Structure 1
Amino acid sequence: MENEVNINKEDNLARKEKIRQIAGIVLIIFSIVVVGLVVYFTLREDMPASWGAFFEVLPNFFTNWYLLAALGGILVVVFMSALNFRILIHSQNGRRYRKDSVRTHLIGRYYDHITPFGSGGQPYQIYHLRKLNLNGGQATSITFLNFAASRFAFATLSVIFIVSVRHLQIETWVRIVSYIGLTIGGLLPGTIMLLTTSKKITRQMLKAAYWLINKLPFKNKEAMKIKSMRFLHNYHMSMNDLKGNMGLIAIIYINHLINHLALASIAYFVLKAVPAQYLQPDFGGQALNFGNVVTLSFYTTNFTNVWPTPGGAGGAELSFGRLFGTYVSGSYLTWAMFIWRFFTFYSYIIIGFILVVTSAANVKKGADAPKVKQDRLISYQFIDNYYPSIDGVVKVVNAYATHLKDFNIETKVVAPAYKAADDSKLPYEVLRTPSIKFWFSDYEVSKRRMSLKFQKQFDEHHPAILHAHSPFIVGHKAIRLAQKYRIPLIGTFHTQFHHDFQNATKSKILTKLALRYVVNFYKACDEVWAVSAFAADVLRSYGYQGPIKVMPNGIDMNLIEDVSDNLEKIKNKYGIKDDEKNLLYTGNLLWQKNVKVVIDAYVKLKKQDPSYRLIMVGGGRNQHQVKNYATKIGIYDEIIFTGSIDNSRDIQTLYELADLFFFPSLYETYSLVFREAAAKGTASLVAEGGVCAEVITDGVNGYVAEADAEVMYEKIIEIFADETELKKVGQQAKIDIPTPWESVLVNVSEQYERLAHDFYEQLATKIE
């Protein structure tokens, strides 16, 4: 039964494609007949005595370089139009579609030219843009905004040239029709934008759509209503995003000014290609200069805009003959018209038809279908930093790659190459990308290019899911691969970046641009995950407006081991005493993690009760400044600075020796160390409003206080007033807070399978 349904679907697609091609051919033939009739009746008095004499004229147009300039004009038009689509698409989904941007323009113009009033291009562009990782609302808003900017730019140039060049000899009726075309062309986009962006009008449109759905015999009316509402919601979100970026709108508008000026200049270069001896004497009083000819071109285009035939066929030729007959006549006028029309009209017809036919052929061959192995789901995890360097995100990716195989998901990691890396001991494959190390950083930075070896491996594996854990170079490689191979891409937001960018650049403008780069990365993902609700809010504060799924991390409970035989060793190594009130901080020593609050609160505690002891584990770029600060306020000798500790048993031993895990950071989007402490039965004091506070009930499974040294000091005094209760809270934290990776990855594997199924099912319907 399922095979019969699939066969019927394929037959329907093939039938629709065949009808589309036949309709295109009929419209093209119709346009050619109309053009032929108009040319004949317009120029019949000037036609030569024989066809031989007519064709002898053509070589005279190629005696100079002006036709190359005309060719350059149409290439500028194609480039600027495609550039606008590329910019608009990237603003909405963060991806760069070079070839598809050109294709969207070319075939859009093809449908413009084979439909009455040039009305078919925009619907096709919306249809095609939906295949480029855009929803219907985004595709529609891009098309409408681009159309509006184009019409406004054209109207601007038309008015400037028509007002500036008034002395041209133009028949009154041609001038009037052109003015009508200019008025309609200027008012239409403004009206469309007003109607589609007004919330009041949108509500009325939605009511009308609901009424129509209820009246017509649709099978699933509720689903259609939801679809309509979702489309309008996405459209308004996308349009508001575009309208809020005035710099982008200015660029699109300027590009269209260049576009229309280049298009209008083609007639000038075609006329200049006519040898001087064949031009009309004295040009009827109108000089053959750029300003005059470009102004006449704008008259011609405005005239054509109200001509009801497909692509303005006949209208363009009629207006060209009437307007440019003062410069050239007879066979030269006919050939000039054909050459001009070839550049601006027939070239799009020919190229567009070829693209439509080849696209249909590719669909029939299945060339556009993704090549994904069905026997086992394969995922690739992308990260910009990996072993031997270690941080929280590295641990997360390692857990994914290690444990997903238990759910029949084969996983590989893509990361920069490190000279000291030894991947042989890892239970999964790591694909290292070429990298470079800068003198100011401890990290290897991946090069943008992908090696041939990597691309060959990727081709062989055909993964079904790509999952990027950082929004930088390796993450952008994931975007390019997802786009090229049509593979769903998940992007997980792990880390705050604002403070890091601000600290590195010392510039608000550069920080804003860097955050936009991050947001564009997540726009390019098919699905965005955040490791906590707090992380999701941070990403939204950067400007990301799409949906975010909260997917928390876990901890590897297998690594939580009995460390009783290690206690004395660690006590002796760091001078830790059982009769002291031991506070533990672990993590990078960074100011943004509120380490100053930790030290300042400890100073107050030490003055109140000398039995308090602070243990600080970690390194980081601010570690020397932190130690200097501790020295400056006279507390350095009372703090145990251990430096970075890579040994898991030693870290676990410190958790067990600590009476309280003191972690007032507001920087984390998800804290593993906080959960590791809980897994060892150690209660934590965390900052109010931070991510760790999301899972704590104050006084039950942990403690929460304002991230202020005085407030934290008072809270710690209160906590240690009842050490029996402190131990009880620590045991409850051990029950409530740690989440095993096995539990997390059950959900991850289910989400992978759901996304892969939905993505490839939708992709099948998007392929032409």
Structure 2
Amino acid sequence: MIGLFNDCFPPIMDGVSLTVQNYAYWLQKKTGSVCVVTPKSPGVTNKEGYPIFRYSSIPIPMRKPYRLGFPRIDFPFHNRIHRLSFSLVHAHCPFSSGNLAMRIAKNKKIPIVATFHSKYKADFERVIKNKSLVNWLLKNVIDFYESADEVWIPQAAVEETLREYGYKGKVEIVDNGNDFSDIQDIDKKRSTMRHSLGIKENEFMFLFVGQHILEKNLIFLIQSLNLIKEYPFRMFFIGSGYAQKELQSKVVNLGLSHKITFLGTITDREQLSHYYAATDLFLFPSLYDNAPLVVREAAALHTPSLLIQDATSAEIINDSINGFLAKNSPEEFAYKIINIIQKPQMMHQVGLQASHTIARSWEDVVEEVADRYQNIIHRYYTKTTLPTFDLNRA
């Protein structure tokens, strides 16, 4: 069995939880032997076609709906998880779930893969003002990745962050995918959704999807929109987070409430796809993200994105080819938006090119992942002179 370990899983929605969900879905179809290990969320029942093992947790202050897990003290969970016959474990987070995966790998003498998804230093620095403590936590993160048999990153630019943190080992680039690649009738989705939202013929629709946290540069985004408020547009924010009320207050104070709408979290993927399809331009000014799924999701629905030049997340974007880039100032970001919407045909062509170049399907990605797992298992057991395992039978 392949074990996928992460500190959150749907219905808690973010890019990493969606990654794990899609890994599990497609691995189950391919191998029939996968499970997810994650903290408990209140009131959640397993409706997936594969087992999900959840351990005790408590809410993380200021980070709703995220949970802090305690697998060591959850004895019924502990007994169940250690009876499973894993052939490989894959940690998508270096904290409670990742440490559990590492212990299982060492105890059972099986390989562990660890993917580096997030800029953890920024998370630490937001809540911890002691630099020495931040450095100690960061060292623990790097020690975790140094102990893995293989470390994956979702795109090449992420390696720079890992090296900055002190990691010295090898990395393997494994793309992220998206689950909107095969959607049909995009033009119909677009017209239907714009009509239901009351978007006028001459109005442009902008969208942001993600956590409503200051690290995502969302005050910057609202300031940029304020600079173009004379232009006909509607802006929709989808998601939730600790900064949501602050962002809403900022919108009210700037007199932008008639143009900017906060929709909260949308967990229905079909409904979310309608918003992507209806959008003219996806706005993503974050310097915090490594390889955001939302940019790929927008691309799958033929919607181009505007990102900050030289941001890690912008590595996959060629300006005015498969997306757009702006300098890191609200004025430059606003100027770029104006420049783009004045050329609607170009915006449309860039969206089409984005769908061809950065919207890879999860089915395709996980086909590659399964092959990589098989090779890692083969190398590991060859190295340790133990019998090899067939992933499709593990």
TM-score (norm 2): 0.91
For the structure 1 residues 652 and 541, does the alpha-carbon distance in structure 2 shift closer, same or farther, using more than 3 Å as the test?
same
Q: Does 1:742 align with 2:368?
A: no
2:244 to 623, 635, 654: 623
What's 1:669 paired with?
290
Q: Does 1:426 align with 2:48?
A: yes
Say which structure is richer in strand.
2
Q: Does 1:543 align with 2:166?
A: yes
1:404 to 23, 27, 30: 27
**Partner of 1:533: helix, strand, or coil?**
coil
What's 1:525 paired with?
148
CA distance in 2, matches of 1:666, 1:558: 26
Cα deviation per residue 1:456-509 (whole Å; 9 max; x = unaligned)? 544543211010011101111111111111111111111111221111112222
Q: Does 1:688 align with 2:301?
A: no
Cα deviation, residue 451, structure 1: 4.8
Cα deviation, residue 621, structure 1: 0.8
Cα deviation per residue 1:538-585 (whole Å; 9 max; x = unaligned)? 122111111111111111246735467766774466443332022222
2:57 to 421, 432, 435: 435
Cα deviation, residue 525, structure 1: 1.0
CA distance in 1, matches of 2:209, 2:184: 19
What's 1:497 paired with?
120
CA contact (8 A) 2:204 2:280 kept: yes
How large is the RMSD of aligned CA atoms in angstroms? 2.2
What's 2:260 paired with?
639
CA contact (8 A) 1:416 1:433 kept: yes
CA contact (8 A) 2:82 2:104 kept: no
CA distance in 1, matches of 2:149, 2:26: 23
Matches within 5 A, 1:264-663: 378-408=1-31, 410-423=33-46, 425-437=47-59, 441-449=64-72, 451=74, 453-458=76-81, 460-557=83-180, 560-562=183-185, 570-571=193-194, 574-607=197-230, 609=231, 611-663=232-284
Matches within 5 A, 1:97-108: none
For the structure 1 residues 485 and 625, does the alpha-carbon distance in structure 2 shift closer, same or farther, using more than 3 Å as the test?
same
**Partner of 1:490: helix, strand, or coil?**
strand
CA distance in 2, matches of 1:429, 1:759: 26
**Partner of 2:49: helix, strand, or coil?**
coil
CA contact (8 A) 2:7 2:39 kept: yes
The one-letter amino acid paired with 2:285 is P
CA distance in 1, matches of 2:73, 2:155: 32
Say which structure is richer in helix.
1
CA distance in 2, matches of 1:550, 1:398: 19
Cα deviation per residue 1:133-170 (whole Å; 9 max; x = unaligned)? xxxxxxxxxxxxxxxxxxxxxxxxxxxxxxxxxxxxxx
Cα deviation, residue 720, structure 1: 2.0
For the structure 1 residues 477 and 676, does the alpha-carbon distance in structure 2 shift closer, same or farther, using more than 3 Å as the test?
same
CA distance in 2, matches of 1:623, 1:636: 14
Q: Does 1:704 align with 2:325?
A: yes
**Partner of 1:760: helix, strand, or coil?**
helix
CA distance in 2, matches of 1:577, 1:640: 16
What's 1:760 paired with?
381
- The number of aligned residues is 385
Cα deviation per residue 1:54-73 (whole Å; 9 max; x = unaligned)? xxxxxxxxxxxxxxxxxxxx
> Where do 5+ consecutive residues of structure 1 fail to align?
1-377
CA distance in 2, matches of 1:643, 1:617: 5
The one-letter amino acid paired with 2:84 is H
CA contact (8 A) 1:683 1:701 kept: yes
The one-letter amino acid paired with 1:759 is Y
What is the percent sequence identity of the aligned residues? 32
CA distance in 2, matches of 1:733, 1:750: 27
CA contact (8 A) 1:379 1:409 kept: no
For the structure 1 residues 489 and 550, does the alpha-carbon distance in structure 2 shift closer, same or farther, using more than 3 Å as the test?
same
Cα deviation, residue 427, structure 1: 1.2
For the structure 1 residues 478 and 674, does the alpha-carbon distance in structure 2 shift closer, same or farther, using more than 3 Å as the test?
same
Larger Rg computed on CA atoms: 1
TM-score (norm 1): 0.48
CA distance in 2, matches of 1:677, 1:447: 36
Q: Bigger CA drift: 627-636 or 448-457? A: 448-457
**Partner of 1:461: helix, strand, or coil?**
coil
What's 1:118 paired with?
none
**Partner of 1:381: helix, strand, or coil?**
strand
Cα deviation, residue 691, structure 1: 3.3
Cα deviation, residue 625, structure 1: 1.0
